[in-house]
């Protein structure tokens, strides 16, 4: 069967418009492809989901024979050489897979399907640690003034943001009062710093900063991942000191220096590299733990990314900068990512433990999946490849 006819048949089947004759034709092709036997029309809901996934996987193999990178249904479509009918099929199937909501899902506690809890995505969660060591759980705090550091008021706004207000240079003591905001696994948070700069923290990340910036510089320390929109001030440089695989939490491995710009830093210590991606303006990236006598540094222009590997060498390349902040916009974006890279992101956002059983798949993934999906819904998409998953409580077992 040629790809065009196959596209038409699968599209009709997934949209429930296939005639009995067309279902019979699709069934014959399906059985001839050495798939598990299915009695058509499929009426069992669970079996129907499996059939949909297999149909899509087989269609991908037909359209892209020998491909080593798996195109996920929620992909960035620009540049894909695929027929329009196939785009419709994948979009339809993705909607069916991701919008099937179990009736037992509730907003209180952890919902369940049978005996297996539904693992829901993360949300706005963070803990603020003040200079005196006291801690404020921000997701449960009231929308009001939470504390005062020197002349600076710490306010939780009605939209959930954390803001530092009324900071002035007359409050010299506030510049020596350091606060830390930390997100857990399954958490994210937005904060407005004393100078008006906005910072979005991804899951399992922390930012240390003064309650008021000193006159000569604005210095913060990052572990994990964050997107910055820095308020311009040419007389007060903004510097982000970040950790990387070559350092531990709180230890500097690199510095990003800016005057006013938009950029993303991914500096999780369990990643192979620390990456700074520039979206707007200009930044200087320095590797403070370089093995050379003098630290290396590079100037980035918009659309460039600087990666600091374990050797502390800086590599600059042109990238799609929007991909680096997909997480901020509620999307997992995988670009030629291996399964371990994919699972590290999933583990942080869904707060799960990941273990591998058997040989680790060499498959590469390319595509986008909404971070609002439940973990089960994410796995329905990923299982279009040869990777399979089993959930036991909050432990995920990855199998070939």
List the pLDDT tens digit at each of the 400 positions of the chain: 676 677 677 777 766 777 888 878 877 776 666 554 555 555 555 455 555 555 655 555 554 444 445 555 543 333 332 333 333 334 434 444 444 434 333 333 334 444 566 899 999 999 999 999 999 999 888 888 899 888 889 999 988 899 998 655 554 466 678 999 999 999 999 999 999 999 999 999 999 999 988 878 899 999 999 999 999 998 899 999 997 554 443 445 689 999 789 999 999 988 888 999 999 999 999 987 654 444 588 999 999 999 988 666 789 999 999 999 999 999 999 888 999 999 999 999 999 999 999 888 888 888 888 898 899 989 988 887 778 899 999 999 999 8
Same-domain pairing of 41 and 116: no
Token pair for 10: 């699968």
> Are 98 and 370 spatial neighbours (Cβ–Cβ below 8 Å)?
yes
H/E run at residue 96: helix 84-98
Token pair for 125: 């969660």
Is 107 part of a structural domain of the chain? no
Range of the domain at 57: 3-98
Q: What is the pTM of this model?
A: 0.73
**Whole-number Å distance between alpha carbons of 176 and 300:** 31
Is 7 part of a structural domain of the chain? yes
The count of domains in the chain is 2
- H-helix segments, 254-388: 321-324, 339-350, 375-382
Same-domain pairing of 376 and 340: yes
Same-domain pairing of 36 and 116: no
């Amino acid at each position: 069967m040629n790809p065009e006819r196959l596209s038409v048949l699968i599209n009709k089947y997934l949209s429930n418009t296939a005639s009995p004759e067309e279902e019979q034709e699709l069934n014959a092709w399906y059985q001839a492809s050495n798939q598990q036997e299915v009695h058509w029309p499929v009426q069992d809901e669970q079996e129907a989901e499996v059939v949909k996934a297999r149909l899509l996987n087989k269609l991908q193999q037909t359209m892209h024979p020998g491909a080593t990178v798996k195109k996920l249904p929620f992909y960035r479509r620009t540049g894909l050489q695929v027929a329009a009918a196939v785009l419709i099929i994948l979009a339809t199937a993705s909607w069916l897979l991701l919008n099937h909501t179990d009736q037992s899902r509730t907003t209180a506690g952890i919902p369940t399907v049978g005996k297996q809890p539904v693992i829901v995505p993360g949300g706005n969660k963070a803990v603020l640690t003040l200079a005196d060591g006291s801690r404020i759980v921000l997701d449960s705090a009231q929308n009001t003034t939470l504390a005062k550091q020197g002349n600076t008021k710490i306010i939780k706004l009605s939209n959930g943001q954390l803001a530092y207000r009324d900071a002035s240079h007359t409050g010299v003591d506030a510049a020596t009062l350091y606060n830390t905001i930390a997100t857990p696994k399954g958490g994210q948070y937005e904060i407005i710093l004393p100078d008006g700069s906005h910072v979005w923290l991804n899951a399992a990340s922390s930012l240390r900063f003064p309650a008021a910036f000193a006159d000569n510089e604005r210095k913060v320390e990052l572990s994990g991942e964050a997107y910055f929109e820095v308020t311009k001030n040419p007389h007060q440089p903004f510097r982000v000191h970040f950790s990387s695989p070559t350092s531990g939490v709180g230890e500097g491995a690199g510095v990003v220096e800016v005057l006013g710009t938009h950029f993303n830093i991914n500096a999780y210590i369990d990643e192979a590299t620390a990456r700074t991606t520039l979206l707007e303006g200009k930044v200087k990236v320095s590797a403070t733990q370089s093995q050379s006598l003098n630290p290396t540094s590079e100037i980035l222009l918009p659309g460039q990314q600087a990666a600091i590997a374990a050797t502390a060498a800086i590599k600059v390349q042109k990238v799609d900068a929007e991909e680096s902040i997909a997480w901020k916009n509620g999307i997992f974006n995988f670009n030629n990512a291996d399964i371990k890279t994919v699972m590290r992101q999933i583990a942080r956002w869904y707060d799960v433990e990941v273990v591998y059983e058997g040989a680790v798949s060499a498959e590469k993934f390319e595509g986008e999946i909404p971070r609002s999906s439940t973990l089960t819904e994410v796995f329905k998409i990923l299982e279009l490849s040869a990777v399979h998953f089993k959930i036991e409580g909050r432990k995920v077992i990855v199998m070939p």
